[in-house]
Every structure is written in structure tokens, then in C-alpha cells.
Amino acid sequence: MKLVSTAGGSPVVSFEEATKRGMAGDGGLFCPVQIPEFRRGEISEMRRMSFPEIALAVARLLLKGEIPDTDLEKIVRESMSFPVTLHPLRRGVNVLELFHGPTLAFKDFGARFMARALAFFQRGENGQTTVLVATSGDTGSAVGQGFAGVEGFRVVILYPAGRVSPIQEQQLTTIGGNVTALEVDGTFDDCQRLAKVAFADPGLSARLRLTSANSINIARLVPQSFYYFEAVARADSDERPVVIAVPCGNLGNLTAGLIAWKMGLPVRRFVAAANANRVFVDYVEGGSFAPRQAVPTLSNAMDVGNPSNIARIMALFPHGVETLREVLVSDSISDVQTKENIAHVHAHYGYILDPHAAVAYGALERHGADNCGIVLGTAHPAKFLEAYDPALRDSIEVPAPLREAQRLEKQSIRLPNRQEALNSFLLDH
């Protein structure tokens, strides 16, 4: 995989270099120059393969020549070590459950793969790498857990004070060891900006061997393409084309889906679902991109006003938004509708959607009729208990890893929303 910066001002780099650097020197994101396609028949073969086998087939096609095959196999096997399950709600509507990893959100796929890929690329090197990550809730704990105890790495998590759910905060502030949580007086976009400016500072970046584990890092995106193939392999879609509804925030998950589509994933279309933070919906509809301040919603991991992966989507669809519209529709679902969807699905199918999947479900209902619909279930509902009415809340079983995190004491450091504050923290600690 050869990559160039979306800002157009840096030379072609390898997957190794893009993974190590996180972001290009010109402030852009690394994006594949060309995306390899599966040969005819290879994708239908996947119906007979397990998820780790599918993941390895996709990884091989994307990363041929970048990581020796035995090492790649080990990285894939170790990072894709929990189940992906397709849960049917009714004929034509399924939830692909991506939340059976250690932090109970789909971000475990990207974080675990990236940690192992980076550790592989840095084997034999001395000194410490600082992984800096901004989180709207789920990324922080996934990346923290992904790198916890990995020698040669420390993780610094930036999260917006008061804007992640209590349980998410417990998860990301109780990892300890080589993982530190910074509680920023600001929004997620502020956290993301602080991180981006730090990466763009060549002195700081080199001195701390700084790398990003946000979905701006290409090693987070690559493994997210794996489960799209799993979804299609497991879907019972002999007659009807597959439509995949993706709950969108920073657009990393959607970008991974679009990469899978370019590799030949047979889907009719994607439904890019947003909450009230609808900059991407407006882009798809109107063709111009205008970042806005994020507003808080029930599906807080999607509260993003300036999604970083928009640059990659534009690079993957260089002929404009019309070509993007051929493969996706985008829609926004309010908190009121989200609650209604949760109640409806519970009443009719006995299933509890998390608020993010409930947004995607709502958008699929509008745009997926008559197809084989798959909603990406990005998190376990127990991570968002405060989003539910008391009666429903009580029927959600809290899985063991969450109960464990709740027992531990929160450890975070308050950080003013200023670049100097972050930079001096990074240099002094």
C-alpha cells in the first residue's frame, strides 16, 4: 500500500511510515494512492471462511509486501480475537455486533490492530513512542487498552470534560500504567485540534516520537474494512442487495467501508447516519463542506462538527460529490427519533440498540427499504445507560469488563484548552 497526503504536499510513503507518522507533514491525512481489488469469486468464497480468515485475506490484499506474511497473520489473529455476530431483527434488517472486544465498542478492532502493527514496525528500536489520542468517548479506552503494557509506548488520552458518558470516563481513566488521561476544558473538536497541532509541530513530534491513534492513522482504518466483508459474507442476501448503515462521527468507519467497496465489496449502497451533527449530510446533499461547532446528543461518540476523515473521502472520490452519491445516502436522526427507535426495536424485536446503532437504524428505515439491511452495532448499550428510560436501563446487563472499570478509581489530569498546556505536559511528563 502506497500512500500520499490528502493535502498533496508530501511524497509517497509506505504503510509503515504512514502508521508511524500518523499524519502527514503538510497537515493532511495519508490516503492510499490505489486500492487493490479482489479477483472475481474471491469475495463469494468468503461465505465459507471464518472472520479471522476473512480478515487475513483482506489484510493480505491491502498490505502485500508491507508486513511479512507470518507476522501479518499473527497481528491479525491477535487483534481480531473476539467474535463479530450478525443479529437478525426481522427479515431484511440485521445488526452486525462489533462490540464484543475488551472495551465493548468497535474501536477495539482499529486500536488493537494498530498497536500490534506499530509494535512490529518499532521492534528493535530504543526509546519511547508517545501515542496521542483525542477521544469523544470510545477511542480513548480502546487505544489505551490496545497499548496497555506494550513496552516502548506511552498513551496520552485527551477527552472533553463532562462530555463523555460516566462509564466511558471510568473506562478511559482507570487503565493506569503507561496510559494517562487528560481531561480537557473544551469539546471533542478542541481535543482533536490540540492533538493535530501537536503532531504538526515538527520539533515536538520528533522529540517525543509522537504518533496518532485517532482514525487519522491509517492503521486504524485498514482493520475496520475487514468486518464489512464479514457482514456481507454472513448476510442472507441471495436475492436482495446489501445496504449497510453506518453511524458516523469522524467518518473513519465509513471511510473503511468505502475502501472495502473499492476492493469490490458487493453492496447496493451505504447509509451514512448522523445525529444532529449533520455536516456530512449537508456535504452529501449540497456538495460543500462547512465545519460547525458540535452539539451534544444522546449518541455522543458521533458529536463531531469537523470530521477529519472527510479529507480522505474527498480524496477517494476525486470527481466530486456526485460520484459519492452513487454509493451512499446520508441522513440525520434527532434524539427524539433515536429514543423512539430504541423503544420500537425493543418492543417489537426484544433487542436493545445502543444510541449510535439506533441512529443508523433510523436512517436505514428511511433509505434501506426492500434491501438486505445491516446496521453496524458500534457499541454495547451498557456503555450509555443514561440514554435509556429507567425501565429499559434496568434490563441492560452490564458486561464484566465494564463492571470492573466501574469499581476502580478515576485518575485524570485536568488540562486547560490551550496548546501550551498540552505541549508542556507532553514535554514534562
Ligand X SMILES: *Cc1c(COP(=O)(O)O)cnc(C)c1O
CA distance 236 to 94: 10
Residues 194 to 223 in contact with ligand X, rule: CB under 6 A: 215
Q: In sequence order, which residues have a C-beta less than 8 Å from that of residue 62 and are 6 or more positions away?
A: 1, 35, 36, 222, 225, 263
Residues 6+ apart with CB under 8 A from 332: 273, 274, 275, 276, 278, 281
84 lines the binding site for ligand X (CB under 6 A): no
Q: Look at residue 356 and give its three-state secondary structure.
A: helix
Within 8 A by CB and 6+ apart from 407, the residues are: none
Closest CA to 374 of 267, 259, 274, 221: 267
Annotated catalytic residue 107: yes
Considering the complex, what minimum distance in angstroms separates the CB of residue 254 from ligand X? 6
d(CA 328, CA 334) in angstroms, rounded, equals: 20
Q: Which is nearer to ligand X, 92 or 355 (CB)?
A: 355
Enumerate residues 6+ apart whose C-beta is below 8 A from 10: 4, 24, 25, 26, 28
Alpha-carbon distances, residue 193 vs 196, 306, 308 (angstroms):
5, 10, 10
Smallest gap from Cβ 109 to ligand X, in A, equals: 11
Find the binding residues for ligand X in span 364-403 (CB under 6 A).
378-379
CB of 369 to ligand X, least distance (A): 23
Say whether residue 96 binds ligand X (CB under 6 A): no
Please, what is the minimum distance in Å from the beta carbon of residue 307 to ligand X?
7
Interaction of residue 273 with ligand X, rule CB under 6 A: no
Q: Does 116 engage in binding with ligand X (CB under 6 A)?
A: no
* Residue of 20, 74, 107, 410 with catalytic role: 107
Nearer residue to ligand X within complex by CB, 198 or 387: 387
Number of residues that bind ligand X (CB under 6 A): 18
Instruction: Decide whether 67 or 134 has the Cβ nearer to ligand X.
Output: 134
**59 CB-near residues (< 8 Å, 6+ apart):** 72, 75, 76, 222, 223, 226
Shortest approach of ligand X to residue 56 CB, angstroms? Answer: 23
Q: Which stretch binds ligand X (CB under 6 A): 19-27, 50-58, 243-251, 416-424?
A: 243-251
Give the H or E element holding residue 362: helix 355-367
For ligand X, the closer CB: 71 or 386: 386
Told to check if 163 binds ligand X by CB under 6 A, we report no
Interface segment toward ligand X; rule CB under 6 A; list 27-35, 41-49, 184-192, 247-255: 247-255
For ligand X, the closer CB: 175 or 301: 301
To ligand X, the closest distance from the beta carbon of 204 in angstroms equals 25
Distance, in Å, from the CA atom of 175 to the CA atom of 182, rounded to the nearest integer, reads: 13
- Please, which residue, 49 or 392, has the CB nearer to ligand X? 392
284 φ, ψ to 5°?
Answer: -65, -40
Instruction: Identify which of 210, 183, 188 has the alpha carbon closest to the alpha carbon of residue 426.
Output: 210
Q: What phi and psi values does residue 419 have, to the nearest 5 degrees?
A: -60, -40
> Site map for ligand X, 341-370, x if CB under 6 A?
---------------x--------------
Among 302, 311, 328, 345, binds ligand X (CB under 6 A): 302
| Shortest reach from residue 32's CB to ligand X, in Å | 17
- Out of 32, 249, 362, 368, the only residue in the binding site for ligand X (CB under 6 A) is 249
Residue written as grid cell 507532553 = 426
The least CB distance from residue 136 to ligand X, in Å, is 6
**Window contacting ligand X (CB under 6 A); options: 241-249, 324-332, 337-345, 403-411:** 241-249
Q: Which of 54, 158, 181, 248 binds ligand X (CB under 6 A)?
A: 248
The correct pick among 19, 174, 211, 253 for binding ligand X (CB under 6 A) is 253
Count helices and strands (H / E) in the chain. 20, 14
3-state secondary structure 6-61: CCCCCCCEEHHHHHHHCECCCCCEEEECCCCCCCCCHHHHHHHCCHHHHHHHHHHH
Short-list 303, 294, 297, 272, CA closest to 285: 272
Task: State the residues that interact with ligand X by CB under 6 A.
Answer: 105, 107, 137-138, 215, 247-254, 301-302, 356, 378-379
Residues labelled catalytic: 107
